[in-house]
């Protein structure tokens, strides 16, 4: 699968950076991100509703991580997937009377266009499930060979109690986990399963759906093994875990990232990721933004309405990435005002000292991507410049805003 164009990262002359710390959703604390080698796997879209603001907020947040690590001089390897075979995709294709492959291709193209506009660094590997089916089938076969699976009426399940003894890693109480598992595509009530949380590894396809022939049955893969197979194949292993970072929206904490972690460990006997980081959810005018409510806000629609990409990006950066956020028209207005003020200050012949401002917002970003604090420092710099304080270099600050925040002014 083709990725999108490379983004230029301007030099800023900083030779050292504080270690980036991110909040780990399972350890429930800030943890340092290794500078020895950095690999990340960011869960991508199911291509039937791209790109809504929930998507955009996630990819902009992890773009900050990648930018910070690049600026720190670390070699970054980044993989993002496309879940281009899944029930919601088929359901939307049937509803709209369109071939599911045509629908997926159109949404992937739109997503690539949106990411390019938002100045998001492209992944080294942008991989679809369909084009990597041999890898996924191989991973399923290895789990069978290692004794982590069982069959039920032609479907293949991962035995969660073998993968996570006593469910020691479960990030929430079992009754709540079962409830959420059901809400997010699981089948905890199916008769014959060894445990309600056992997840499908390989399933029989429904009539009219695509299927692949294998020695363990014709069908298609479950959700979690897809990501595991792609990450383990396309990212080099550090020594202490398979990858450095797994990231996504908060709705992936369970079951998806939990299930991915235990399936990955079952494959190679290593913890899957050193850090698990997740973004807050976005609502609209007081309600949760969701496909079922039909209240999604799309990046492409905002761009078509005349909003600039940097305004959308600034609006998303104006809240902490882990906080839930209610989107409204004020978010874009406030972001536009902030950008105009920064641009006006940068255009002055004499500006306030820039080195302390850059050092300050770098430190804020190193503290769990605290963009709220980082932008407050830039706001203060604007005030200082407007009041006539001098001694800075506007070009230096403009390059730093581009490099670290992805805001090119």
Question: Quick one: pLDDT at residue 238?
Answer: 58
pLDDT at 311: 98
Read off the pLDDT band of 252 (50, 70, 90): very high
Q: In this structure, what token pair is assigned to residue 222?
A: 């479950």
State the average pLDDT over residues 28-38.
Answer: 93
Residues 6+ apart with CB under 8 A from 376: none
Q: Is 70 exceeded by the pLDDT of residue 106?
A: yes
Taking 90 as the threshold, does the pLDDT of residue 208 lie above it? no
**pLDDT at residue 135 tops 90:** yes
Confidence of residue 239 (pLDDT cuts 50, 70, 90): low
- 65-74, 83-92, 120-129: least confident range: 83-92
| CB 367, CB 68: distance < 8 Å | no
pLDDT at 165 exceeding the cut of 90: no
Strand 243-249 relative to strand 273-279, pairing = parallel
Proportion of the chain above pLDDT 90, given as a percent: 87
Nearest CA to 279 among 253, 258, 297? Answer: 253
Per-residue pLDDT band at 387 (split at 50, 70, 90): very high
Averaged pLDDT, 37-42? 94
Indicate whether 377 pLDDT > 80: yes
Highest mean pLDDT out of 108-122, 202-216, 276-290: 108-122
> What does the pLDDT look like over 335-368, one tens digit per residue?
999 999 999 999 999 999 999 999 999 999 999 9
Residue 66, pLDDT score: 98
Q: What is the pLDDT of residues 299-333, one digit of tens each?
A: 999 999 999 999 999 999 999 999 999 998 899 99
**Residue 236 pLDDT more than 90?**
no
Quote the pTM value. 0.96
**Mean pLDDT of the 6-14 span:** 93
Residue 68, pLDDT > 90, answer yes
258-308 tens-digit pLDDT: 999 999 999 999 999 999 999 999 988 777 776 667 789 999 999 999 999
Residue ranges and CATH numbers for the domains of the chain are 21-279 (3.40.50.620), 303-405 (1.20.120.640)
């Amino acid at each position: 699968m083709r990725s999108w164009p490379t983004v230029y990262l301007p030099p800023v002359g900083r030779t050292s950076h504080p270690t980036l710390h991110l909040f780990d959703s399972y350890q429930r604390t800030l943890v340092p991100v290794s500078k020895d080698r950095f690999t990340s796997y960011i869960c991508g879209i199911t291509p039937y509703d791209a790109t809504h603001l929930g998507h955009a907020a996630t990819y902009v947040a992890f773009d900050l991580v990648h930018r910070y690590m690049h600026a720190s001089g670390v070699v970054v390897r980044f993989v993002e997937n496309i879940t281009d075979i899944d029930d919601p995709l088929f359901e939307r294709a049937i509803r709209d009377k369109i071939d599911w492959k045509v629908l997926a291709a159109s949404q992937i193209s739109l997503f690539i266009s949106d990411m390019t506009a938002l100045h998001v660094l492209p992944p080294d590997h942008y991989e679809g499930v369909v084009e990597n089916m041999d890898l996924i089938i191989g991973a399923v076969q290895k789990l069978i060979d290692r004794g982590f699976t069982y069959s039920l009426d032609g479907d293949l399940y991962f035995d969660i109690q073998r993968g996570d003894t006593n469910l020691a890693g479960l990030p929430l109480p079992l009754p709540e986990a079962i409830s959420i598992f059901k809400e997010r595509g699981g089948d905890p009530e199916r008769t014959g399963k060894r445990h309600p949380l056992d997840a499908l590894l390989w399933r029989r396809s429904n009539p009219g759906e695509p299927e692949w022939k294998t020695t363990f049955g014709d069908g298609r893969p479950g959700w979690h093994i897809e990501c595991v197979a792609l990450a383990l194949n396309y990212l080099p292993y550090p020594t202490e875990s398979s990858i450095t970072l797994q990231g996504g929206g908060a709705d992936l904490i369970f079951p998806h990232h939990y299930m991915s972690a235990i399936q990955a460990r079952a494959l190679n006997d290593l913890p899957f990721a050193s850090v698990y980081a997740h973004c807050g959810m976005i609502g609209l005018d007081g309600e949760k933004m969701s496909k079922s409510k039909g209240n999604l806000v799309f990046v492409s629609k905002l761009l078509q309405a005349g909003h600039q990409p940097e305004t959308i990006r600034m609006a998303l950066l104006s809240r902490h990435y882990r906080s839930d956020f209610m989107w409204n028209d004020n978010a874009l207005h406030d972001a536009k005002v902030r950008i105009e003020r920064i641009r006006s200050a940068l255009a002055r012949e004499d500006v306030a000292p820039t080195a302390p401002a850059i050092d300050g917002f770098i430190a804020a970003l190193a503290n769990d991507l605290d963009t709220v604090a980082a932008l407050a420092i830039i706001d203060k710099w604007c005030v200082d410049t407007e009041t006539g304080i001098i001694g800075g270099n506007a070009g230096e600050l403009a390059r730093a805003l581009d490099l670290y925040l992805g805001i090119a002014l």
